[in-house]
Amino acid sequence: MSRQDMDFTIDAYAELVSAAAARYRFLRFAESSTEGEVALWRHDIDFSPQRALALARVEAASGVPATYFVQVSSRYYSIFEPEIAAILRQIVALGHDIGLHFDAEVCAYQSVPDFDKRIAFEASALEEIVEARVASFTLHNPTTLVGVSLDEPLRAGLVNGSCSEFRAAYAYCSDSNGLWRYRSLAEMIADPAIGRLYALTHPEWWQVEPMPPRQRLQRCIDGRAEFCSRYYDGLLEENNRPNIGAQR
């Protein structure tokens, strides 16, 4: 197993947060500051709100505020499930912000996509669920979009955390696909030349035990399937209904 695989554990993440907290002042996406050393700390929840809550607790313990960008149109979780909604509200209660992680693909059926209308709709629904203001959004899989840029700093009244202005103003790193896309976050935090840091992480990559990226993703998928199975079996048992073929 490579060193890169070993780095993506919750314990390693706690060390990164502690190191960043000792150096940077953390900003919200609606803020703008050029004073001192500052950091934008972003999470895109693509697969696992449960892992997001685990990271949120680590950050709260170090007094670090982050912004968690949530997909309303996710194929892997639903914000309308009571259990998921409760997790998102816990993240807010820990002092973090919630933003919208917008997938432009949801507008593909429209001959003339109305992105602003859809962004506003999803942000409003998310606000209702988390019972907190949603002030910013980011794009899901922006490099796969063809003929769509959505690069304006403000869309539908929300700050665009994916816009090129942020990338130009900050040193940027990302753990997309479970690998550091540029330099590692540890290297960037330790670099004295980086006074403005923009860190993007995806909670599903940060697991308890070290494992390859595909295995980390599979763990999230399997956990979701197990939850659905338990829920179904529990519903039938609670209501004294037959569950033919159930594994015991």
For residue 44, tell me if it sits in a domain: yes
Q: What is the mean pLDDT of residues 180-190?
A: 92
Residue 219 has pLDDT above 80, yes or no: yes
For residue 137, tell me if it sits in a domain: yes
For residue 243, tell me if it sits in a domain: no
For residue 48, tell me if it sits in a domain: yes
Read off the pLDDT of residues 186-216 as tens digits, 9 standing for 90 and up.
Answer: 999 999 999 999 999 999 999 999 999 999 9
How far is the CA of 24 from the CAs of 119, 188, 190, in angstroms?
31, 12, 11
Enumerate the β-bridge partners of residue 147. none
Read off the pLDDT of residues 61-79 as tens digits, 9 standing for 90 and up.
Answer: 999 999 999 999 999 999 9
Question: Which residues, including other chains, have CB under 8 Å from residue 90's CB and lie 6 or more apart?
Answer: 53, 56
Specify the pTM: 0.92
Token look-up 């697969």 returns 47
Question: Which residues, including other chains, have CB under 8 Å from residue 167's CB and lie 6 or more apart?
Answer: 198
For residue 115, tell me if it sits in a domain: yes
According to the model, what pLDDT value does residue 131 have? 97
Residue 30 has pLDDT above 90, yes or no: no
Question: What span, in angstroms and rounded, lies between the C-alpha atoms of 116 and 146?
Answer: 18
CB 128 within 8 A of CB 98: no
For residue 246, tell me if it sits in a domain: no
Question: Number of structural domains, the chain?
Answer: 1
For residue 219, tell me if it sits in a domain: yes
Q: What CATH number did the domain enclosing 232 receive?
A: 3.20.20.370
According to the model, what pLDDT value does residue 248 have? 62
Enumerate the β-bridge partners of residue 42. 67, 200
Domain containing 106 equals 3-238
Handedness of CA 172, 168, 46, 71 (dihedral sign): positive
For residue 245, tell me if it sits in a domain: no
